[in-house]
Amino acid sequence: MKDILAEITRYRESRGWTEYQLAERSGLPQSTISSWTRQNVVPTVPNLEKICTAFGITLSQFFLEDASE
What CA–CA distance (Å, rounded) separates 24 from 60? 23
Nearest alpha carbon to residue 35 among 21, 19, 24, 12:
19
pTM: predicted TM-score of the whole model, two decimal places: 0.87
Q: What pLDDT, in 10s, does the model give residues 12-26?
A: 999 999 999 999 999
| Mean predicted lDDT score pLDDT of the chain | 92
